[in-house]
A and B are shown apart, each in its own frame.
Chain A
């Protein structure tokens, strides 16, 4: 191998090493800075604070699903987050109430046959998610 070729190879490898070291040194602080920026941006986003103690899971105490009712009216009782707008819908009627307490009680008229009843809860605090439950009861005069 010629002397010039050896010198050129050594110079090339050396230059490559210098560039590599420079690149490593330059990129390391940038990565750290980026991470810091992301952390800052997350901490600046306003988070939805939900006080879980104020949230009541929707529960229908009565009637039971698939119950056979012998009266034209059924009383629906249940529990939901306080101060919610509760929409109770069936093919017969829509009932809208605001519950001041967690317990609620509503009289729903029934039609002969199957009655699908949906209870929808829209809490006053819009950060608390909407909840829904559905049941079907049968009003059969036999």
Chain B
């Protein structure tokens, strides 16, 4: 009885072993050969992806860097950006990794690389080396600028101000329907909203406006979003 039992166990073990070997050899035949190169490619992509994610995580851990400027050219997932100090940067965009957004009135919307156009004002974040940035994210937005100066002319027909700024340049500031004007109360230093008619020649103004490339090329004329007025009486105190 023992002999029969032992023989049965040995036979069953052999049968199981044979089945496993057959199954493995079947797996290792033609389909495996065909897909082996694809597997290697996928492995390399995953490896590159992991390295990139590690780099991004590393840059996130260290101090974040950001750059802003105008797009000079856009080609083959690369952008050339001119920053506010007239320095040129090359921005590398990686299709599946770089996040691209537009910012309109503080609202973030996802965009694609093709949505970035020449002269767009962008913010780029990511690791930088020798004026080459591997972009983690790109934000397309409007460029706001601030300027101050003395009002030298008020045109009440065309609704614009001529201001002499601190660099002794004359700029025309258009007052739009959306422009908000505030006047400083020189006693309380509170600001109160006023109309265009309350502005006077000789007042000092601090203007917030959106920089437009077209306006820069034509003449120095900008649309104000907000104006803070220091009445001339403040300087006579």
Contacts and interface: CB of A to CB of B under 8 A. Distances in A.
Instruction: Indicate the size class of the contact surface on chain B.
Output: 35 or more
- By secondary structure, the B interface counts as strand
A66 B141 CA distance: 16
A111 B107 CA distance: 9
A126 B234 CA distance: 10
B98 to A, nearest CB: 12
Interface residues of A, number: 26
B123 interface: yes
A20 to B, nearest CB: 50
Contact of A118 (B60, B146, B182): B146
A97 interface: yes
B6 to A, nearest CB: 68
Contacts, number: 79
Contact of B225 (A66, A91, A114): A91
A113 B191 contact: no
A113 B103 contact: yes
Contact of B235 (A116, A126, A140): A126
A111 B106 contact: yes
Contact of B226 (A94, A120, A134): A94
Contacts of A126: 235, 237
A112 B137 CA distance: 14
A118 B189 CA distance: 18
A85 interface: yes
B184 interface: yes
Interface stretch (B21-29, B63-71, B170-178, B213-221): B63-71
A62 to B, nearest CB: 14
Nearest to A111: B106
Given A66-B66, A94-B191, A114 B235 contact: no
A28 B12 CA distance: 137
Contacts of B230: 87, 122
Contacts of B139: 113, 140
A102 interface: no
Contact of B123 (A96, A111, A114, A122): A114
A100 interface: no
Interface of A: 66, 68, 85, 87, 89-91, 94, 96-98, 111-114, 116, 118, 120, 122, 126, 132, 134, 136, 138, 140, 142
Given A116-B145, A140-B139, A142-B60, 16 more contacts: A85-B189, A89-B208, A91-B208, A94-B206, A96-B190, A97-B189, A114-B68, A114-B143, A114-B144, A116-B144, A118-B146, A122-B234, A126-B235, A126-B237, A140-B123, A142-B125
Interface of B: 60, 63-66, 68, 103, 106-108, 123, 125, 136-137, 139, 141, 143-146, 148, 166, 182, 184, 189-191, 206, 208, 225-226, 228, 230, 234-235, 237
